[in-house]
Amino acid sequence: MQTLFEKIAAGQLWRFPGGIHPPTRKAELSKKPIATMPLPERLFLPLRQHIGVAGTCLVRKGDYVLKGQPLTVADSSMSVPVHAPTSGLILAVTDHTSPHPSALPEPTIVLEPDGLDEWREREPLDYQQCSTQQLLERIQGAGIAGMGGAGFPTHLKSASTRQIDYIIINGVECEPYISADDALMQEHASTIVQGIEILSHLLTPKAVIIAIEDDKQSAFHAMQAAVDDRQHWFVRAVPTKYPSGGEKQLIQLLTGQEVPAGRRPMDIGIMMFNVGTSFAIAQAVLDDIPLISRIVTLAGQTLQQTQNVLAPLGTTVSDLLYFCGFQPEPQQRVIMGGPMMGFTLPDLSVPIIKTSNCILAPTQQELPAAANEMDCIRCTACAEACPASLLPQQLLWFSKAKDQDKLSEYNLFDCIECGACAYVCPSEIPLVQYYRIAKSEIREQQREALKAEQAKARFEARKARLEAEKLERQQRNERLAAERAAKQNMDSSNAVAAALTRVQNRQQQAPDDVATINAEREHQKPQAGTQQSLTAEQPANTPQASEQDPRKAAIAAALARAKAKKQQQDTADTPEAPKAADTTAPEPEPATDPRKAAIAAALARAKAKKQQQDTADTAAPKAADTTAPESEPATDPRKAAIAAALARAKAKKQQQDTADTAAAPSAADTTAPEPDPAADPRKAAIAAAVARAKARKLKESESE
């Protein structure tokens, strides 16, 4: 028995079910050479021209770009960049009608060509010497997406990790009128073959099959000549039938294998590329020309010259049509894509993109608009024509009834929307439109269901979190209450004992402290001397000041030390302390002052706000205006600031109290403030903790 490979090598063809034979209307088109579109006045380049996500825009209004310069950067694997088709000025990055049946505006770069057509620097690669990674990066960087119509990023297909047995190059182009690939194969067969060689280099298949419909004889011969006698490369002429160019249909036609429902050809070891895609790959790798132009078929009897045009991407449909001598009828329809699968354009300012292969401007007579839809008569002509072996009439019923379970049971998602069923329908039912609506509704519902699931998960996570927080708060409150009770007990019984130990500690430390105090004095003396010399004109005041100073300074120093200790946890050096004493001595007052001032200011602001709220027509509307923006956003910070200030004031008071009490017993000698460091930090720490707790409480009550 022959193996599949032998059968393919022997030239066997299989057949796929269904299919139709509409008039092809290509004979005239395929004989003409490819015309080159002169640069239009404006190019509209949508950021997204393929299936996937748009890249991030790199240019801004007013930038000057060179031909082939990337305008977006691909920041995910599902994205490919777009490039400047010519050199010129970026006029805007704005929303523009998209080449999509919805015609919804999408972000688009508007480029004004400068006519110089100046290239950026180019770096051709030798693909034999390149790593796979380098080649794939080049293919992605050149912005190549499937040019047969779907626009799937090519680098993803070429990066297949699965063993690929067959590469199929699709030059079938079965839809009526369209002959862009035909023209490309006739004129650039050798470049296409180079592209296929790069793909084979990447995917290492057993064989390459190039499929061309048998009505394109010149393209077939051109390709055969270009392929020459390469081993395991087969150029096959396939019978003219619509839709033999469909991916799954062509695979069935060439290999007899069926791609399972919901799977991709890759899963059965087959990869298919359009001839246009392989041409673009060759250009990108060998000449470093990114995908910036494509061949578009311009057809229809309202055009004086129907022809294939090589046009820069971003050229508007109207520019292209008038280039071909467009003479519109009243209520002229213009179709993007072929007559079977294309869509009517609502607006001629739509640009052509990487996937646009045909613009059709037919006369009313040539391609009549849809007539009145009639009821289905159950003739099953559609089921016979369906290339995917579906039951279109059943799908129609279920689509109308929005019965989604039944629709998936009847495999709606295997429909390739080829339009064969609608073409044969005697009741002229636009079946495909119904399927498209049903498909988009099912997709939307799946999205909604997914979102609902996520929302539920988030809601439940939040509920759990809130409960945990509540429990934690409760536990903390209980713990704090217990602590407070314990502390109160201890305080009442142990106060005396604690006082005794404090005194003992102080006495133990006293000898050390005497030395430090002496050192302090030594330091202070020269300073006092300088001070005296400086304030010579006020001799009367100085003795008084020097009398008061040491005590105050000492207290302040203690405070400063406590602060320093708290902040840095390292013991203040003795030389530092007196200095601090000097500098901080006058501080307490100014320190309290700003705080007080801040509180006062806050109160004043609050009052002002109140007044403003109460009486809208105050005498000073200007003042109200100026305070308004200030006070509005500051509501919270002010409150918090006041609370913090209060807490700090309390802490200070406590600290001072403790300092005073500590100072009182040993007030007789000047060593008084010095013994405190041991007691002070502790007290200060407690006070600080209390203040913090209070602040937290305040915050909590605020947030609640």
Tokens of 399: 């689509």
The piece of 282-290, 307-315, 346-354, 602-610 that touches another protein (CB under 8 A) is: 346-354
Tell me how far apart the alpha carbons of residues 168 and 233 are, in angstroms, rounded to a whole number: 10
Residue 64 lies near another protein (rule: CB under 8 A): no
Q: Minimum Å distance from CB 103 to another protein?
A: 8
- To which H or E segment does residue 599 belong? helix 588-614
Residue 249: CA atoms inside 13 Å, Cβ hemisphere, count? 28
Nearest 10 degrees: Cα torsion 570, 575, 579, 585: 70
Q: How far is the CB of 703 from another protein (least distance, A)?
A: 7
Residue 86 or 302: the one with the smaller Cβ distance to another protein is: 302
Could you give the CA distance from residue 47 to residue 383 in angstroms, rounded to a whole number?
40
106 near another protein, rule: CB under 8 A: yes
Of 2, 344, 408, 493, which one interacts with another protein (CB under 8 A)? 344
278 binds another protein (CB under 8 A): no
Choosing from 261, 374, 455, 678, the residue that interacts with another protein (CB under 8 A) is: 455
Q: Check binding of 301 to another protein (CB under 8 A).
A: no
Q: Does 100 bind another protein (CB under 8 A)?
A: yes
Report if residue 456 touches another protein, rule: CB under 8 A.
Answer: yes
- Residue 433 touches another protein, criterion: CB under 8 A: yes
Sort strands 166-171 and 207-213 into parallel, antiparallel or unpaired. Answer: parallel
Q: Out of 32, 378, 462, 479, point to the residue binding another protein (CB under 8 A).
A: 462
Q: Is 97 in the site for another protein (CB under 8 A)?
A: no
Could you tell me the smallest distance in angstroms from the CB atom of residue 332 to another protein?
5
**Considering only residues 451, 470, 610, 697, which one is a binding residue for another protein as defined by CB under 8 A?**
451
633 binds another protein (CB under 8 A): yes
- The contacts of residue 20 (CB under 8 Å, 6+ apart) are 241, 242, 385, 420, 423, 424
Beta carbon nearer to another protein, 378 or 458: 458
Binding of another protein at residue 437 (CB under 8 A)? yes
The yes or no reply on residue 635 touching another protein (CB under 8 A) is yes
Q: Which of 124, 239, 346, 575 contacts another protein by CB under 8 A?
A: 346
Instruction: Give me the least distance between CB of 84 and another protein, in Å please.
Output: 23
Complex with another protein: residue 203 or 341, whichever CB lies closer: 341
Name every residue whose Cβ is closer than 8 Å to that of residue 202 and which is 6 or more positions away in sequence: 132, 135, 136, 158, 159
User: Is the N-terminal amide bond of 243 cis, ω within 30° of 0?
Assistant: yes
CA distance 16 to 296: 29
Does the footprint of another protein cover residue 341 (CB under 8 A)?
no
372 makes contact with another protein (CB under 8 A):
no
134-142, 164-172, 457-465, 601-609 -> range binding another protein (CB under 8 A): 457-465
User: Does residue number 441 form part of the binding site for another protein (CB under 8 A)?
Assistant: yes
440 forms part of the interface with another protein (CB under 8 A): yes
> Which of 11, 330, 539, 629 is close enough to bind another protein by CB under 8 A?
330
**Pure H helices in 535-585:** 541-568, 576-584
What Rg, from alpha-carbon coordinates, does the chain have? Answer: 43
Identity of the residue, 53 or 266, whose beta carbon is nearer to another protein in the bound complex? 53
363 binds another protein (CB under 8 A): no
Mark the segment that binds another protein (CB under 8 A) among 21-29, 329-337, 544-552, 617-625. Answer: 329-337
Size of the residue set binding another protein (CB under 8 A):
41
430 in contact with another protein (CB under 8 A): yes
Please pick, from the candidates 77, 200, 332, 670, the single residue that binds another protein as defined by CB under 8 A.
332
Rounded Cα distance, 91 and 61, in Å: 5
Nearer to another protein, 361 or 558 (CB): 361
The position carrying tokens 């022959």 is 2
Q: What is the largest CA-CA distance in the chain?
A: 126
Picking from 674, 683, 682, 681, the residue whose alpha carbon sits closest to that of residue 510 is: 674
How many CA atoms lie within 13 Å of 252's alpha carbon, on the beta-carbon side? 18
What do you get for the CA distance between the two ends of the chain, in Å? Answer: 82
Report long-range pairs for 116-119 (Cβ below 8 Å, ≥24 apart).
116/87, 117/39, 117/67, 117/86, 117/87, 118/66, 118/67, 118/87, 119/66, 119/67, 119/68, 119/87
Q: How far is the CB of 459 from another protein (least distance, A)?
A: 5
Q: Give the closest residue to 605 by CA, choosing from 645, 580, 634.
A: 634
Q: Give whole-number Cα distances, 281 to 142, 202, 205, 217, 272, in Å.
A: 8, 12, 17, 25, 14
Decide if 407 contacts 239 (C-beta within 8 A): no
Question: Is residue 102 a contact residue for another protein (CB under 8 A)?
Answer: yes
453 binds another protein (CB under 8 A): yes
Q: Enumerate the β-bridge partners of residue 293.
A: 312
Q: Report how far apart, in Å, the C-alpha atoms of 103 and of each of 39, 177, 347, 349 are.
A: 24, 23, 8, 10
Nearest CB to another protein, comparing residues 17 and 101: 101
Round to whole Å and give the CA distance between 310 and 36. 5
The reply on whether position 454 binds another protein by CB under 8 A is yes
Task: Identify which of residues 412 and 659 has a Cβ nearer to another protein in the complex.
Answer: 412
Of 6, 267, 444, 512, which lies in the binding site for another protein, with binding defined by CB under 8 A?
444
436 binds another protein (CB under 8 A): yes
- Stretch touching another protein by CB under 8 A, among 97-105, 213-221, 243-251, 550-558: 97-105
Interface region with another protein, contact rule CB under 8 A, candidates 175-183, 442-450, 470-478, 481-489: 442-450
- Please report, as ranges, the residues that interact with another protein according to CB under 8 A: 98, 100-102, 104, 106, 328, 330-332, 334, 344, 346-348, 430, 433, 436-437, 440-441, 444, 447-448, 451-456, 458-459, 461-463, 632-633, 635-637, 703
